[in-house]
Amino acid sequence: MKHYLSIDDLKQPHSAIEQALQLKTNPLQNSGLGKGKTLILLFFNNSLRTRLSTAKAAQNLGLDVLSLNVGADSWQLEFTDGTIMDQGKAEHIREAVPVLCQYGDLIGLRSFGELQSLEEDLREPVLEAFKALSDKPLINLESAFAHPLQALADAMTLQETFGSTKPKITLSWAPHPRPLPQAVPTSFLRMMKTLGADIQVCHPPGYELNAALTEGIEVRSDQAACLAESDVVYAKSWCSTEQYGQHLPIEESWTISLEKLKEAYFMHCLPVRRNVVVQDAVLDSSKSLVIEQANNRTYSAQWVLQELLKSKEL
């Protein structure tokens, strides 16, 4: 594996899940692998889990970690070639990326889409710019349309909860006060398709995900019926595709409740807005898997870091 930018970089997803779960049983089993090497974590957006679980994973491997909030702690970066840099941005990525590559052996990067233009976000401009200029392995810590560390952790959580049985999974859209990116549902769905999971999607009209991704998957708008027949419900808000990035009225009737879930387990990547996305009673019940999903983020990151460290490129 050269980079870990999307689920497509997982050549053997089933064994990745098994190996990551095995790491969880003894996290310090490869504690010398990263000795003398440095992981740089760059954040263009906020984070709790990704920042700390990836740093923890790195520590478990003996890596040193340097973390930077781009723009807040450092200079604002210019991405456009040929720009006359007489405005606010002080540094071009043509210098910044090669400099970062001198300090770090691996680079993790979080950069959400701007939610201004679907076409522009689909281009993954930040990730692609770093890819073009970096001679070090890159790890996607959530980009405009992918959150592959989350999806690997989610697959681990499903494996732990259901073992070899094949649960019926519903990916349900949920309401939110802000328009949110499509990265989490996109990567989760891509992962579930890759694994051949029994999954359906439900969302109100207008919130369609990428057509190629949902090809062959049942997409419905009757949330109550979908949830009632599910073993596990993955809830996530994402912005409309038709009115990309726009703030639309909150559809309160889509909030997940215990009544709707019936016997189903509940998953969410976190952070979650209580009593908007999902009711307190769900999060506070034994059916909620969200804390274990967050725990598994350490081991999904550790597996990825380990693979990159073992690859010939390093």
Ligand X SMILES: NCCC[C@H](NC(=O)CCC(=O)O)C(=O)O
Ligand Y SMILES: NC(=O)OP(=O)(O)O
Residue ranges with strand state E in the chain = 38-43, 64-69, 77-78, 91-92, 106-110, 138-140, 168-173, 198-202, 218-220, 232-236, 265-267
Residue nearest to ligand Y (CB): 50
Instruction: Return the residue matching tokens 């959150």.
Output: 147
The reply on whether position 150 binds ligand Y by CB under 6 A is: yes
Letters for 260-289 (x = contact with ligand Y by CB under 6 A, - = none) are: ---------xxx------------------
Would you say the C-alpha torsion 14, 16, 19, 25 has a positive or negative sign?
Answer: negative
Is residue 236 annotated as involved in ligand binding? yes
Q: Give the residue with the Cβ less far from ligand X, 40 or 235.
A: 235
**Strand, coil or helix: 86:** coil
Is residue 150 annotated as involved in ligand binding? yes
Q: Give the residue with the Cβ less far from ligand Y, 224 or 291.
A: 291
Compute the least distance from the CB of residue 47 to ligand Y, in Å: 3
Q: Which does 180 bind (CB under 5 to 8 A by kind): ligand X, ligand Y, none?
A: ligand X
The reply on whether position 183 binds ligand X by CB under 6 A is: yes
- Rounded CA separation 76/107 (Å): 18
Q: Which does 181 bind (CB under 5 to 8 A by kind): ligand Y, ligand X, none?
A: ligand X
Is residue 48 annotated as involved in ligand binding? yes
Q: Which does 48 bind (CB under 5 to 8 A by kind): ligand Y, ligand X, none?
A: ligand Y
Q: Give the residue with the Cβ less far from ligand Y, 269 or 282.
A: 269
**Strands, sheet with 106-110, edge to edge from the N-terminal-most edge strand:** 64-69, 38-43, 106-110, 138-140
Lookup: tokens for 21: 């779960």
The reply on whether position 90 binds ligand Y by CB under 6 A is: no
**Strand, coil or helix: 143:** coil
Letters for 56-75 (x = contact with ligand X by CB under 6 A, - = none) are: --------------------
Lookup: tokens for 279: 């009711």
Compute the least distance from the CB of residue 231 to ligand Y, in Å: 22
Q: Give the residue with the Cβ less far from ligand X, 96 or 127.
A: 127
Strand partners, 236: 173
Compute the least distance from the CB of residue 157 to ligand X, in Å: 15
Q: For residue 185, which of 227, 134, 219, 229 has the smallest C-alpha distance? A: 219
Q: For residue 180, which of 149, 145, 215, 205 has the smallest C-alpha distance? A: 145
Q: For residue 96, which of 73, 70, 120 has the smallest C-alpha distance? A: 70
| Interface with ligand Y in residues 33-62 (CB under 6 A) | 47-50
Is residue 195 annotated as involved in ligand binding? no
Decide if 192 contacts 199 (C-beta within 8 A).
yes
Q: Give the residue with the Cβ less far from ligand X, 114 or 218.
A: 114
Compute the least distance from the CB of residue 117 to ligand X, in Å: 17
| Interface with ligand Y in residues 126-145 (CB under 6 A) | 142
Q: Give the residue with the Cβ less far from ligand X, 3 or 147.
A: 147
Q: For residue 106, which of 51, 58, 33, 39 has the smallest C-alpha distance? A: 39
| Interface with ligand X in residues 252-291 (CB under 6 A) | 269, 271, 273
Give me the residues that bind ligand Y (CB under 6 A), please: 47-50, 142, 150, 269-271
